Amino acid sequence: MFQGMYTLSSSMITQNRQMDVISNNLANVSTPGYKSDSLVSGTFKDELLLRTSNNMSGAIGGSLGTLSLATIPYRTYTDFSGGSIDETDKNLDFAIQGDGFFKIRGQNGDVYTRNGSFIIDNDGYLSLQGVGRVVGDNGPIHLTTDNFNVKSDGTITDKNGKEIAKLSVFTFDNLDTFTKVGENAFSTTAQSKKADTNILWKYVETSNVDPTTEMTNMLASQREIQSAAQVLKMYDELMGKATTEIGRV
């Protein structure tokens, strides 16, 4: 009975974590450049073997007691697939056509994002609201006018064709070191390199969240939590009867 209670309780904890991830995805369905997350879970035994690399004889297939079947969340993975590209007709909107990220210089260092819905801050710098200033070929991009044009290579020119600045796109050989900072930016220790990627002006990349899939997953998690709670209630009633009735005998 106790093993069943451990298993059911751990399943409820994991599904609650899953609900948190799904809720965050749904909350950012309209956030430009947002990349959806997914939670990967497994048994306590699998996670223990994964972390210790314990593949010695007898480890696999051996018993770890009542906790061996307990479900635990492994980790959260980010889906870096692209969202759709929408035309906005706004001067400060940019989208990357292909792989790569914009670099944003914040107070705590550089972060990377696919969100090209920028603003001009109080000091005249092209910025991502709440995150930091957009970094171009020569550092943070300062705009002296809001009447400009942008070429596909990211070159920003004034109305006379004079270059003001150039947007840069950065790529990475491996995204495994990316850590989410806020909702749509990532920090990393990996080395970046500039990419020869087209930039679409007056366009923005939408979130890659699929609301239908997320709602389906949420309903499945809710049902699993409800089912586990009902069985736990039955276990609790059985233990109560065992304590009172057996005690009288």
Which has the minimum average pLDDT: 1-5, 186-190, 237-241? 1-5
Task: Give pLDDT, residue 160.
Answer: 87
Task: Give pLDDT, residue 56.
Answer: 47
Place 1 in a pLDDT band, splitting at 50, 70 and 90. Answer: very low
Q: Is the pLDDT of residue 216 over 50?
A: yes
Q: What is the DSSP letter of 24?
A: H
Please give the share of the chain, as a percent, with pLDDT higher than 90. Answer: 54
Place 157 in a pLDDT band, splitting at 50, 70 and 90. Answer: very high
Q: Can you read off the two tokens belonging to residue 104?
A: 């944003």
Place 126 in a pLDDT band, splitting at 50, 70 and 90. Answer: very high
Task: Give pLDDT, residue 119.
Answer: 94
- Name the strand (E) or helix (H) holding 215: helix 211-248
**pLDDT, tens only, 81-120:** 999 999 999 999 999 999 999 999 988 899 999 999 999 9
Residues 174, 190 contacting (CB under 8 angstroms): yes
Region 143-150: what's the mean pLDDT?
Answer: 86
CA distance 153 to 170: 13
**pLDDT, tens only, 13-31:** 778 888 899 999 999 999 9
Between strands 185-187 and 37-43, the pairing is unpaired
> C-alpha angle 229/72/57, rounded to 5°?
130
DSSP E strands, the chain: 37-43, 71-78, 85-87, 94-97, 102-106, 109-113, 119-120, 126-128, 132-136, 139-140, 148-150, 155-158, 163-166, 170-171, 179-181, 185-187, 193-194, 198-201, 203-205
**pLDDT, tens only, 159-208:** 888 999 999 999 999 898 999 998 889 999 999 999 989 999 999 999 99
Task: Give pLDDT, residue 108.
Answer: 87
Residues 226, 218 contacting (CB under 8 angstroms): no
CA distance 71 to 6: 9
Place 35 in a pLDDT band, splitting at 50, 70 and 90. Answer: very high
Q: Which residue has the tokens 């270059």?
A: 163
Mean pLDDT score of the chain, rounded to an integer? 82
> C-alpha angle 159/125/168, rounded to 5°?
75
Which has the minimum average pLDDT: 69-73, 90-94, 219-223? 69-73
Model's pTM, two decimal places? Answer: 0.76
Task: Give pLDDT, residue 81.
Answer: 92
